[in-house]
Chain A
Amino acid sequence: MSNTLYLEWALTTITELVLLVYLLRRKLFRSHPVFFAYILGDILRSVLMAGIYSLSGMKSFRVWLIYWLSQIVMVTARFAAVVEVARRVLSPFSGIWALGRRVLLLAAGAVLVYSALLSKDYWYSLPLNVERGAGLAVAAVIVTLLLFARYYGLPMDHLERSLCIGFCLYSSFSVINDSLIEKWVNSYFELWNFLGVLTFLASLLIWTGAARAYSETAPARVPVVVPKELYGKFSSELNIRLRLLNEHLNQLLHSGGQH
């Protein structure tokens, strides 16, 4: 590994430690336990990999296997952290959460199937394909979540928004990176490593900024809940009114005059 890569790696671990301190000081490990575990897990993984690389080098099959197994564990943890964010944003609104989780699941499933269909079936490509598919699914879930929250005008605090941005950018760039390494596996390896760590570092900086700015005194959301029947009545009436307006527009479109 080049010195730049070592430096980048060290910088990432230091940033992770800073983020961890903020998560502890702001007591965010209570509200975001999965995210906390994800960051902690990544630090431990870095230590483990550094130890293995110094003992066995980077070329053996065993090291390759350990690297990819730990990577798959981290990708799963990332997915779980995203689910945690989605639950925090949507679950105060039980109706939206019930619909939202189905939509998010569908988005993730569709992307995973898409990735599986497009991936190469060589055994040595499997970890890369899993990582890429999961990365794409994470990004798709986040984008769907943000669009959902935007459509319903749901409040989203700075921390959740930053977590979403960080995870989505990191996952999307990982997908691009993984796709490029598949093509130029040897000549691209150093750059692939560098870019992978760089995008993670950028995400870490976004999260650290948000954790630092987090205020525990923010008021808790107390959502108002109405009976399901009342929603049903309002919903159907609103839809009739919206349909009427649509028909209005259609009539304007189709029955105007010639100039």
Chain B
Amino acid sequence: MNITIILFILLAVLLIGALVWAIRPPKRKLVSINDVLTALSEEHHYSHLPQILQALQPEDTAFLRDRGFAPLRRKIRSERGRIALLYLDCLQDEYEKLLEASRVVAAMSPELIALDEAERFKLSLRFALGCRYLRWRLRFGLEPWRGFGLLSEMASGMALRLEETTSQIGERAAWSLEFSSILKERDGGTR
């Protein structure tokens, strides 16, 4: 059998596989308009990141090893790994809520910004893969962490970005009002 035939058959089989995957009932539940607004105004998990990162640093528990408490150190580190996993769950939950909100808004928009949608799709893929990878590493207590010491740099970078976001969120209060009134108007009009 030549390569052309194999390529055609392979593509057709791949499409059948993708069809089977795509027709599975979706796991996520549909969110309402109110959920979109809530997702945008909810408290973020960002604020706990420095503590989590601090807890994961080896220096934080190094003194235990130096004093001969290696088993205790291992126990503490595994506990901290578990807490980091819980944190990751929260982070993922928040991410999915935001993604869901973005889909609800997209479904209501008369025209989508293709670049925004593409970026969101790319981000969601990256996040899903990163999350899975990190979870796997935390679970197995592997030693894959690439150098660190970025904490302070990260904190300042994050503060800057948070400021940017906060200012946008400030503006959002006005949009939310506008948004709700439009929806109410629509609701009234269709009934």
Contact = CB atoms under 8 A, between A and B. Distances in A.
B22 A150 contact: yes
Contact of A230 (B9, B23, B178): B178
A57 interface: no
Contacts of A1: none
Interface in A183-238: 183, 222-228, 230-238
A17 interface: no
B46 A244 contact: yes
Contacts of A142: 19
Contact of B5 (A147, A183, A245): A183
Interface centre among B11, B120, B158, B182 (most CB of A within 10 A): B11
Interface string B76-120: 010000001000100100110011111111111111111011011
Given A99-B112, A182-B5, A225-B110, A253 B53 contact: no
Interface string B55-74: 01111100000000000000
Contact of B141 (A95, A120, A259): A259
A158 B142 CA distance: 47
Interface residues of B, number: 95
A62 interface: no
Contact-size category for A = 35 or more
Contact of A244 (B58, B104, B161): B161
A106 to B, nearest CB: 11
A254 B134 contact: no
Nearest to A152: B103
Contacts of A243: 123
Interface string B110-143: 1111101101110110110011011000000111
A108 to B, nearest CB: 13
A35 B88 CA distance: 48
A182 B7 CA distance: 13
A216 to B, nearest CB: 21
Contact of A246 (B5, B49, B114, B123): B123
Contacts of A151: 103, 121
Interface string A37-78: 000000000000000000000000000000000000000000
A11 B16 CA distance: 25
B183 A224 contact: yes
Contacts of B99: 242
A27 interface: no
B51 interface: no
A94 B111 contact: yes
The 10 closest A-B pairs by CB, nearest first: A231-B109, A146-B22, A95-B109, A256-B145, A257-B57, A257-B58, A95-B112, A255-B148, A175-B12, A179-B8
Given A102-B114, A228-B111, 11 more contacts: A147-B22, A179-B12, A225-B110, A227-B110, A234-B172, A234-B175, A235-B116, A237-B172, A238-B105, A245-B94, A255-B150
